[in-house]
Amino acid sequence: MPELGDGWRLGRMTALDLHAVADIELRAYSHPWTRGNFENSLKSGHVGLTLRDPANTLVGYAVLMPVVDEMHLLNITVDPRRQRQGHGRLLLAVALATAHAHNLGTMLLEVRPSNVGALALYEEAGFAEIGRRKGYYPATANGREDALVLRRAWHDGKESA
């Protein structure tokens, strides 16, 4: 598990976090998850992670879904006011450590090809593109945007894309 700075806290997302989560989500995405999406996700047994600063302010979060032998990263978000300070990298490392802790050997995620920041973060963390889902995301003016499917795998302690 990666090390946290003094006073920083990682937690499991609960209903009590959802007000702050939904506030960040609205500011972070053109097509955000709703509060109800997060509620349903938690009720379905997905793993929500939260990152709080020493003032107990929510800075970022991630949602993970274990599926058979893979972990799917459904959401990873850092408050737009706090981006580019290493919090996304930390949350992704915690997500990967959580997958290890569940004995899962693969992490999968979808990302918009236009999301250059997220793509750079994932590539840095060893994810590789394995496919593309046509028209997966809503986009502006009734259009749709493809999703890139990225994967990172590790087996028997050896890591591979």
| Candidate residues 1, 4, 16, 116; the one interacting with ligand COA per rule CB under 6 A | 116
With CB under 6 A as the contact rule, the residue among 74, 99, 121, 153 that binds ligand COA is 121
**With binding defined as CB under 6 A, does residue 83 bind ligand COA?**
yes
Applying CB under 6 A, does 23 fall inside the site for ligand COA? no
CA dist list (Å): 144 to 14, 31, 90, 141: 32, 12, 31, 9
115 is in an annotated binding site: yes
Is residue 3 near ligand COA by the rule CB under 6 A? no
Asked if residue 120 binds ligand COA (CB under 6 A), the reply is yes
CA dist., res. 36 & res. 72, Å (int)? 20
Write out the DSSP string of 83-134.
Answer: -SSSHHHHHHHHHHHHHHHTT--EEEEEE-TT-HHHHHHHHHTT-EEEEEEE
Residue closest to ligand COA (Cβ): 88
Least spacing, CB of residue 106 vs ligand COA, in Å = 17
| Binding-site member from 41, 50, 77, 98 for ligand COA (CB under 6 A) | 77
Whole-angstrom Cα distance, residue 112 to residue 114? Answer: 5
State yes or no: is 61 an active-site residue: no
Spot the catalytic one: 29, 61, 70, 122: 122
Beta-bridge partners for 149: 110, 131
Contact between 94 and ligand COA by CB under 6 A: the answer reads no
Helix pair 35-43, 18-28: axis angle to 10 deg = 130
Q: Which residues are catalytic?
A: 110, 122
